[in-house]
A and B are shown apart, each in its own frame.
Chain A
């Protein structure tokens, strides 16, 4: 537990450098939901391939690393109904809000965007309430 915050800080640094590369070189905001969602709904237009390459890197590097550092798990619940509901909520919600943890949270708040702060307050608040309701009260996950 003691070293976990160091790994968090180091991994966070990598995420921030990734966002800086995407911003300073490609001129784009690194928001996972926007990159994935715009490819899905066809609004990415002539940026589709650039975004597909981003998604490819996002999938491939952790895959390779996970072979190297040993088997990993995401430890997701085995309640498939909860997973399906959560997936739909995350998909609709992030596109409606135009951003998720990376876009609004990391990229938005680091440029002191009011929208980024407001979104982050609401998704963390809703996440906390969701845990109380589904884990502690209903015990479905």
Chain B
């Protein structure tokens, strides 16, 4: 049951990415590129996605998930080095080629060799990330 609804959610996510044009790396880059031909699409995608999500968060109040368990608690509002540094690294890569994790999987079947290359490097990066995190924590513990 959990797998079925995860599959449905993943499918809707992928369909939404395709329909919205967000698997087209040029549209993402054009949104980030304020000195080019600026493309506002990404802002509409974010807005369109945040509305159902905001409603969903409201529904979670005083309830439990349909398949049992508990809703994820709000993280303690901690803004730390890993959040900022990680987001900067992510943004640099995102701007460079215009793909982030969701669209890279959604466009894999038609992304050609470049799409495959991106996802393999991304998986490699995700694989070494825990080591990078512990090295950072050890090196910067005194800062």
Which residues of A line the B interface, CB within 8 A?
A: 4-5, 7-30, 32-33, 36-37, 40-41, 43, 49-51, 53-63, 65-66, 69, 71-78, 80, 82-98, 100-102, 104-107, 109-111, 113-115, 118-120, 122-132, 134-136, 141
A119–B89 CA distance with the chains assembled, in angstroms: 11
Q: A82-B96, A86-B118 are in contact. Are A76 and B130 (CB under 8 A)?
A: no
Residues of A within 8 A of B132 (CB): 92, 96
Q: A8-B44, A17-B52 are in contact. Are A85 and B6 (CB under 8 A)?
A: no
A49 partner residues in chain B, CB cutoff 8 A: 3
In the docked arrangement, what's the CA distance between A65 and B74, Å? 35
Taking CB atoms, residues of chain A closer than 8 Å to B2 are: 26, 50, 53
Q: Are B25 and A74 in contact (CB under 8 A)?
A: yes
A95–B100 touching, CB < 8 Å = no
Taken together as a complex, chains A and B put the C-alpha atoms of A127 and B97 apart, in Å, by: 10
B26 to A, closest residue via Cβ: A75
Distance in angstroms from B107 CB to nearest chain A CB is 4
8 contacts between A and B (CB under 8 A): A9-B47, A12-B50, A62-B106, A75-B26, A86-B118, A89-B92, A90-B93, A101-B100
CB neighbours of A71 from chain B (8 A): 110
State in angstroms the CA–CA spacing of A89 and B100 once bound together: 10
Instruction: Tell me, rounded to whole Å, the shortest Cβ–Cβ distance linking B117 to chain A.
Output: 5
Q: 7 more A-B contacts (CB under 8 A) besides A98-B82, A110-B54?
A: A8-B41, A16-B48, A19-B53, A25-B67, A61-B11, A63-B108, A110-B50
B56:A19 contact, CB within 8 angstroms: yes
Asked if B95 contacts A92 (CB within 8 A), the reply is no
Contacts of A77 in B (CB 8 A): 25, 97, 114
Residue of A nearest to B37 (CB): A1
Contacts known (A76-B25, A128-B33); A50 close to B129, Cβ less than 8 A: no
Tell which of B10, B88, B121 touches A83, judged by Cβ atoms closer than 8 Å: B121
Asked whether B83 lies within 8 Å of A115 as measured between CB atoms, the reply is yes
Q: Which A residues are in CB contact (< 8 Å) with B49? A: 12-13, 15-16, 19, 106, 110
Which residues in A have their C-beta under 8 angstroms from that of B124?
A: 87-88, 91
Contacts of B123 in A (CB 8 A): 36, 40, 91
A134 to B67, CA, bound (A): 46
A9 adjacent to B77 (CB under 8 Å) = no
Of the candidates B13, B59, B86, which one forms a contact with A15 in the assembled complex, judged by CB atoms under 8 Å apart?
Answer: B13
